[in-house]
Copies of this chain bind each other. A is one copy, B any other.
Amino acid sequence: MTFDDFARLPVAWLDASGEQSAIVVSSRVRLARNLIHLPFPNRANKTHRQHLVKAVLEACEQNKQTKQLVFFDADGLNLLQQQVLVERHVMSPAMMTRNGARGVLVGQAGCLSVMLNEEDHLRFQAIFSGLQPQSAWQAISELQQVFAESLQFAFHEAWGYLTACPSNTGTGLRASVLIHLPGLVLTQEMDAVVRGITQMGFAVRGLFGEGTDALGNMFQVSNQITLGRSEQALLGMLSQAVAQLVECEENAREALLSSVRSKIEDKVWRAWGILQHARMLTSQEFMNLASAVRLGVGLKLIHQVSLQTLNELMVETQPSHLQFMLGRELEAAERDVFRADRVRQKLMPSG
């Protein structure tokens, strides 16, 4: 599978399957692992880094399942290609700015991936559609198990898995969900909800992780604690917190419908009208309009578009995907025109 093949494949975790998929876009579980006898990437020299990549790729060959993973060497990808991987959430922005041997192993559907020489030697990741952190955990846990057969991960009896940053030590697990909370934003309850969730030991971030905005009312909720609890306990806590969030969001939506129904209908339908007809769309405006339409689908006001289509557009309308699809770099204004074209094509396939 070439990079182009991969970048053109539909992303499986955007298919709106799984529980609560009208509100919970996806569930992601990440495991940090490091090899013994090799310094953490931040401390590693050129040779160490090359050694790590070589060791992991050799380990891949040992097993039928891991053999199917495809390795994209970061240095073998141009900037645009790297950004496409970032937009697909299989490569971190941090990896792009690093040096030395590094890259990412990906499964065909984009659900499973392993970053090599990012902050840790290996960062396993599974993303599943909807609210299913357990399934994601199971998939990624099995994958790291396969690697563990041929690689020796640094593990301390008292501390657990060792990681470059102490905040990840222990399980090395970070679980998160990407959740769409337009109701709580519209009822202005989001600040209070974020405070509550934070006190429960979770972090709330924007679409692309730490320090990014909650574009289109999309939030990432993830566990802060990695140490002193079992993986099952951590996942259980997250599922519970997310279930509460979903309930709050459903209540907010109901409250909106009963107090300002016309305004909500207007907001939702206008967004649908604009998405279908606009000839220029910034990515920020797209995300906000798509958020309103997604709310409309959730409220069963709009039946003309699927959650899957909206999810896919969220990835496909990002700057690097647009430029990759068109095969050339685009000025911001050209991108806005092409983004609007793309959205119209996808929303009105016949027109």
Contact = CB atoms under 8 A, between A and B. Distances in A.
Interface in A274-294: 274-280
A262 interface: yes
Contacts of A279: 262, 265-266, 269-270
A279 B277 CA distance: 17
Contact of A266 (B263, B265, B278): B278
Contacts of A269: 277-279
A337 interface: yes
Interface string A257-273: 00000110110011011
A333 interface: yes
A265 B337 CA distance: 10
A340 interface: yes
Please report whether the interface of chain A is mostly helix, strand, loop or mixed according to DSSP. Answer: helix
Nearest to A334: B262
A278 B272 CA distance: 9
Contact of A270 (B265, B272, B274): B274
Nearest to A272: B277
B262 A273 contact: no
Nearest to A263: B280
Contacts of A265: 279
A346 to B, nearest CB: 15
Contacts of A273: 270, 272-278
Contacts of A275: 273
Shortest Cβ-Cβ A-B pairs, 5 listed? A273-B277, A273-B273, A266-B279, A269-B277, A265-B279
Interface of A: 262-263, 265-266, 269-270, 272-280, 333, 336-337, 340
11 contacts: A262-B279, A262-B336, A263-B280, A265-B279, A266-B340, A269-B279, A270-B273, A270-B279, A273-B276, A273-B277, A273-B278
